[in-house]
Chains A and B, each alone.
Chain A
Amino acid sequence: MNKRTQQREQTRIEILTAAEHIYAVHGFIRPSTQMVAKEAGVAHGTVFLHFQSQEKLILAVIENLGQSLTSQIHESSVPGHSLNEVLQTYLTAIEANESLYTHLIMELPQLPKEAQQTVIGIQSVIAHHLDQVMSQLKKEKKIKDLSFPFLFNTWIGLIHYYLMNRRLFAPHGSVLAVYKDQLIANFITLLEVDCT
C-alpha cells in the first residue's frame, strides 16, 4: 500500500469512527454529515469523497457494528458452552456497543432495509450458538419443550425491551451493566423444567 492509499484509508477510518461516536450519542437519523465532518476534523466534502451519500455512511457504520458483534460472539463462543455462557457472550458483545446498537434497533423502521438485514444477521449468529446448546438441553429434558423461534424471540424481545427503555431502567448509564446477570438468570429459570 503506498502512502497516498494509506492516508486515504486512514481518513476513511477517522470518518467512520467519528460517525460511530456521533450516531452512538444522537442516533442515526438526526445528525448531519456536517456534524460527522466536524467530529472527524475533515472538510464536509471529504465525507462524500469516501461515502458518496449520508445513507452510505450510515450503512457503513451499521455494517461495521454487525461485523464487530458477530465476530465477538463467534470468537467468545467455545464448544460445550453452557446456556448461561452463550447468553453472557451475546450480552457482553451488545454491552460493548450498547448505545449504537440501541439506536439501531429503535430507528430500524426509518433506516434502509439493509439495516434490518444486518440485525437479522447478528441474530442469526446468536441463534446458531443458542440452537446448539438448547437442542442438547431439550434432548436431556432439562428445559421446557417450547419451539425454538418462541424461545429465541422471547429472549431477543426481552433484551430489546430493556435496551429501548433504558431511560426507565438505567437513566445514567448502561442498562446491561445493571441488568445483564439477572436477565440471564431469570430467563434460564423460566426455561428450566421444574423437577419438584
Chain B
Amino acid sequence: MKQCIACGMPMRKVDDYPLGDTTKNYCKYCARANGSMQSYDEKLASMTEFIIRTQGLDAHVAQKSAAFMISKLPAWKRGSDD
C-alpha cells in the first residue's frame, strides 16, 4: 500500500488516486482537477482550510499547524523551510 507523499494518507483503492491513476505517488486530495500534483502553496492552503473546516481553529493557528504537518512529508521536506 502506498502512502501519499504530500499528505500522508494511505492509498488503498483506485478511487484514492488522482483520476484513478495508480502510478501516481500522491492522492486525489493533493491533486488539481487535471490530475497534476498541487504546489506547496496550494497544499498549504487546502490543508489550512481543512483544519479550519473540521476543527474550527483560528486561521493563523491553522496555517501554522498545516505548515508544520506537511513539513514532515516527503514531498515538502525542503519547500517548508521558508
A: which residues have CB within 8 A of B? 63, 70, 74-75, 79, 113-114, 116-118, 120-121, 123-125, 127-128, 130-131, 147-150, 152-153
Chain B residues closer than 8 Å to A113, beta-carbon distance: 64
Q: Are B64 and A117 in contact (CB under 8 A)?
A: yes
Name B55's contact: one of A79, A114, A152 (CB within 8 Å): A152
Q: Are B57 and A120 in contact (CB under 8 A)?
A: yes
Q: Are B8 and A131 in contact (CB under 8 A)?
A: no
Please give me the residue from chain B that is nearest to A77 by CB atom.
B10
19 A–B pairs (Cβ distance < 8 Å), ordered by A: A70-B8, A74-B8, A114-B68, A117-B64, A118-B68, A120-B51, A120-B55, A120-B57, A120-B65, A124-B55, A124-B69, A127-B54, A127-B55, A128-B50, A131-B54, A148-B53, A148-B54, A149-B54, A149-B55
A79 to B51, CA, bound (A): 21
A120 to B57, CA, bound (A): 10
Name A117's contact: one of B12, B53, B56, B65 (CB within 8 Å): B65
Q: Is B59 an interface residue (CB 8 A)?
A: no
A134 to B74, CA, bound (A): 30
B interface residues, tally (CB under 8 Å): 18
Q: Is B45 an interface residue (CB 8 A)?
A: no
The minimal Cβ–Cβ distance linking A65 to chain B, given in whole angstroms, is: 13
A75 to B11, CA, bound (A): 10
Q: Are B68 and A124 in contact (CB under 8 A)?
A: no
Q: Is B78 an interface residue (CB 8 A)?
A: no
A87 to B48, CA, bound (A): 24
| Majority DSSP secondary structure for residues of B touching A | helix
Q: Are B13 and A117 in contact (CB under 8 A)?
A: no
Q: Are A124 and B50 in contact (CB under 8 A)?
A: yes
The minimal Cβ–Cβ distance linking B35 to chain A, given in whole angstroms, is: 21
Please give me the residue from chain B that is nearest to A123 by CB atom.
B55
Please give me the residue from chain B that is nearest to A147 by CB atom.
B56
Please give me the residue from chain A that is nearest to B57 by CB atom.
A120
Please give me the residue from chain A that is nearest to B16 by CB atom.
A79
The minimal Cβ–Cβ distance linking A119 to chain B, given in whole angstroms, is: 9
Q: Is B33 an interface residue (CB 8 A)?
A: no
Name A149's contact: one of B47, B53, B65 (CB within 8 Å): B53
Q: Are A120 and B9 in contact (CB under 8 A)?
A: no
A168 to B5, CA, bound (A): 43
Nearest 6 CB-CB pairings of A with B:
A149-B56, A127-B54, A117-B68, A120-B65, A121-B69, A117-B65
A90 to B53, CA, bound (A): 20
The minimal Cβ–Cβ distance linking A49 to chain B, given in whole angstroms, is: 24
